[in-house]
Structure 1
């Protein structure tokens, strides 16, 4: 059953303390000004509320007195008549100015509960491939789930011959194919390419072209799209016993017409990394162009350059998130964040939003216990040198590792990942909201 957190339900008259305790957001950093405002507004409305947790279109989690809102398509009447208490917002709220951030739940479905999967936006849908369904699992899943962020619904792709993968990466190609690169299949690390033809709903095993020089095997690596024909691969090559002191960088060229791929090892190298993330950003300063930065995956707080391209070499993508970009700019200017980058972080998420790289969660290498994190990091490239901003969070319910974030329709979505115990996969989909 698909559970979509939208529509309106009747919440019977209850004591004010009971209602507001269900509605109150979690305060994670700074003062509680914004939380007090939200709780105060909802406290005054308590007594007989129509509860509307919001939709993917951007309605907030709100308590609205009066008549019920429109019926939510895709939600059974039985669920609508006697719903569970809604999931409260959780996040970090700032100090005197009320600036801060929060993850707002917008959907929930057991099909989405997985970690170390890939989540790729293609034609307004999120394609989730493989992953581990529970902590300690050795064999990854081979299913493919498509999530519609506009409707809040998830369905499993009918084909049963998908690649069995975890700790892999994926990229959209030609607006039609979803190419899965490398990963762990339950017994070994691979460097092969499997592609889902989204028009036909069929998986294809592409073959290596002549001159292919593949890595020893890839897992917990990154695969960044440079064009429809070219990807840049960086990170773990081979197992821990065969890992070198440095990491190789590969250009992966794709030929969708011939259904072939070809690896070429680049002359430059990086620090040996695993479980890192990559962000293709415009170069700051006078020399315009693009650079590929690697974050985390080793005991370092500094990003590393895995490629530079002069102006015009990388096709400019139109800005798809002007509102979210403005909100991030206001958040880093609020004075709430510390100038600190993530040190020793791995299996976190990263999404590029305009001039910002937005990192969340992950597992820290600097602690022996309580290693799973829930902090937000923003890397700002608008000036040279670029700046880090760290926004901590104390809400343990937000801890995530092996999750993914995905940008669509001016909103940043959080999908999957293991929680605080490192074993239970989240079935929620959340979007990043701000108190500014």
Structure 2
């Protein structure tokens, strides 16, 4: 299986995309949208550009360059033409601002927001869309974060048409994390990484999460579960496919690797959330984006070898795992 994973890293490889790390993106239909990020490692000057990647041509196109200046932010798609961008670093501070991009009108709007704690902001957090249209936000950065032992969860609710949103704290009891990932599993939330211990958390959510599924059903019956999970990591990616969570790349906390790692794992949610090692992709990445796309996982950008930001796009085909 390790050899297969390494081959997959070079499927439909392209280096014509945006040179970015810590950008935010999502999929609407057969189009990937990607906004912001930084073009140099440790840069404090985020980009404003919005790009799209078309399934038909497998090429990136610049949509516009007048969006908000943000990195380390997140987004969710809403309906068939709206993208809600949440928080991030704006070049001066971490914010809790909400921006909406209308893909039909090619228009940006900054929203009115209330309810977020004064003196704190959002950076390297996560957002998951709930089935009722609210958004679950996990993570908080800023001066107030140091005063709490546990992490923070918020429900973001409001109106896309009125451009008005409100944050409300949500009692979830999550551990404090940054650079983590969150994945939807029916009525549960799978949280991975973002701290040096407690690699995995599972929380039951009262409101059902919006779950994306794939038409491909990967099979991992021949892959043995690991006797212990891998070391803790941050700034990795996690892509949920049916009952399997693909975890790729990131930076480790154990000091064994000074550069982003290139291992590909799955968390098998059908077998007591066991970890299984699929192989070494051969391309280390951190702060990249990964999407469920065309029955595969599309990976773009991030920080790679020698601390350089990448513009490489490649696909991991799920059909190679199916039986």
Global fold match (TM > 0.5): yes
Change (3 A) 1:240 1:263: closer
Please report how far the alpha carbon of residue 322 of structure 1 lies from its aligned counterpart in structure 2 after TM superposition.
Answer: 2.7
Query: Which is higher, the Rg of structure 1 or of structure 2?
Result: 1
1:146-157 correspondence runs (5 A): 146-157=52-63
- The number of residue pairs the alignment matches comes to 320
Cα deviations by residue, 1:192-214 (Å, 9 ceiling, x for unpaired): 100101110011001125xx244
Tell which deviates more after alignment, 135-144 or 365-374.
Answer: 365-374
The answer to whether the 8 Å contact 2:94/2:122 transfers is yes
Please report how far the alpha carbon of residue 148 of structure 1 lies from its aligned counterpart in structure 2 after TM superposition.
Answer: 0.6
Of 215, 218, 222 in structure 1, the residue corresponding to residue 122 of structure 2 is: 218
The answer to whether the 8 Å contact 1:117/1:131 transfers is yes
Which structure is higher in RCO with an 8 Å CA cutoff and minimum separation 6?
2
The answer to whether the 8 Å contact 1:112/1:428 transfers is no
Q: Residue 277 of structure 2 aligns with which residue?
A: 390
Change (3 A) 1:227 1:214: farther
Change (3 A) 1:435 1:271: closer
Cα deviations by residue, 1:46-103 (Å, 9 ceiling, x for unpaired): xxxxxxxxxxxxxxxxxxxxxxxxxxxxxxxxxxxxxxxxxxxxx44xxxxxxxx622
Please report how far the alpha carbon of residue 173 of structure 1 lies from its aligned counterpart in structure 2 after TM superposition.
Answer: 1.1
Return the structure number with greater helix share. Answer: 1
Q: Residue 360 of structure 1 aligns with which residue?
A: 248
Q: Does the alignment pair 1:181 with 2:86?
A: yes
Change (3 A) 1:264 1:435: closer
Q: Residue 347 of structure 1 aligns with which residue?
A: 235
Q: Residue 74 of structure 2 aligns with which residue?
A: 169
Change (3 A) 1:189 1:365: same
Partners of 1:203 and 1:225 in 2: CA distance:
20
Q: Residue 308 of structure 2 aligns with which residue?
A: 423
Please report how far the alpha carbon of residue 371 of structure 1 lies from its aligned counterpart in structure 2 after TM superposition.
Answer: 3.9
Please report how far the alpha carbon of residue 106 of structure 1 lies from its aligned counterpart in structure 2 after TM superposition.
Answer: 1.6
Q: Does the alignment pair 1:373 with 2:261?
A: yes
The answer to whether the 8 Å contact 2:264/2:277 transfers is yes
Structural RMSD (CA): 2.5
Cα deviations by residue, 1:250-305 (Å, 9 ceiling, x for unpaired): 001131121111100012332110100001103xxxxxxx1112100011254223
Q: Does the alignment pair 1:142 with 2:48?
A: yes
Change (3 A) 1:304 1:316: closer
Q: Describe the SS at the equivalent of 1:203.
A: strand
Unaligned stretches of 5+ residues in structure 1? 1-27, 35-90, 93-100, 283-289
Q: Does the alignment pair 1:294 with 2:188?
A: no
Tell me the TM-score normalized by structure 1: 0.68
1:71-82 correspondence runs (5 A): none
Please report how far the alpha carbon of residue 435 of structure 1 lies from its aligned counterpart in structure 2 after TM superposition.
Answer: 6.7
Cα deviations by residue, 1:142-171 (Å, 9 ceiling, x for unpaired): 11001112211211113x321111111100
The answer to whether the 8 Å contact 1:134/1:425 transfers is no
Q: Give 4+ residue runs of structure 1 displaced > 4 Å after superposition.
A: 315-318
The answer to whether the 8 Å contact 2:96/2:116 transfers is no
Partners of 1:172 and 1:241 in 2: CA distance:
28
Cα deviations by residue, 1:16-73 (Å, 9 ceiling, x for unpaired): xxxxxxxxxxxx94xx7x7xxxxxxxxxxxxxxxxxxxxxxxxxxxxxxxxxxxxxxx
Partners of 1:203 and 1:399 in 2: CA distance:
33
Partners of 2:84 and 2:48 in 1: CA distance:
14
Q: Does the alignment pair 1:305 with 2:211?
A: no
Tell me the TM-score normalized by structure 2: 0.90
Partners of 1:318 and 1:298 in 2: CA distance:
26
1:158-307 correspondence runs (5 A): 158=64, 160-208=65-113, 212-214=115-117, 216-227=120-131, 229-238=133-142, 242=146, 244-282=148-186, 290-307=187-204
Unaligned stretches of 5+ residues in structure 2? none
Partners of 1:411 and 1:157 in 2: CA distance:
24
The answer to whether the 8 Å contact 1:111/1:156 transfers is no
The answer to whether the 8 Å contact 1:194/1:205 transfers is yes
